[in-house]
Amino acid sequence: MKHFTLASLASGRRPYDEFIRSDNMSAGLYVLPAGGVDDQSPHAEDEIYVVVSGKARFTSGEQTVDVATGDTIFVPAHERHRFHDIAERLELIVVFAPPETS
């Protein structure tokens, strides 16, 4: 078992900090400031976002939704997606399966 606290994860200084990797998945904390730009490209892996804090809009494929603390989003591999109109600093737990390769 491994145990993580949000405080320990948030100590990183990069927008995305991976905190665990196994043969089957990887996970990290992704942080975007209010008014920030999410310039990610599609990934080769399925992806789950859990919104730990913040508010924004999220577009994946042809769908756009408002997201806020407590929301969970699934994005299939290779689908274009991004957070935008970031109204409050976003802290997101991101899980990739299989582990992120990009």
**Side-chain-side CA neighbours of residue 8 (13 Å):** 7
The pair of three-digit structure tokens given for residue 28, joined into one six-digit string: 């990290």
For the stretch 32-66, pLDDT in tens is: 999 999 999 999 999 999 999 999 999 999 999 99
For tokens 């310039």, the residue is 39
Domain-by-domain residue ranges, the chain?
Answer: 14-97
Confidence (pTM): 0.92
Q: Which residues face 86 on adjacent strands?
A: none
CATH of 14-97, picked from 2.60.120.10, 3.40.228.10, 3.40.225.10, 3.20.190.10, is 2.60.120.10
Check whether 9 has a pLDDT greater than 90: no
pLDDT on residue 62: 95
Q: 45 or 13: which carries more pLDDT confidence?
A: 45
- CA separation for the pair 6, 9 (Å, rounded): 5
Name the band, by pLDDT with cuts 50, 70 and 90, for residue 27: very high
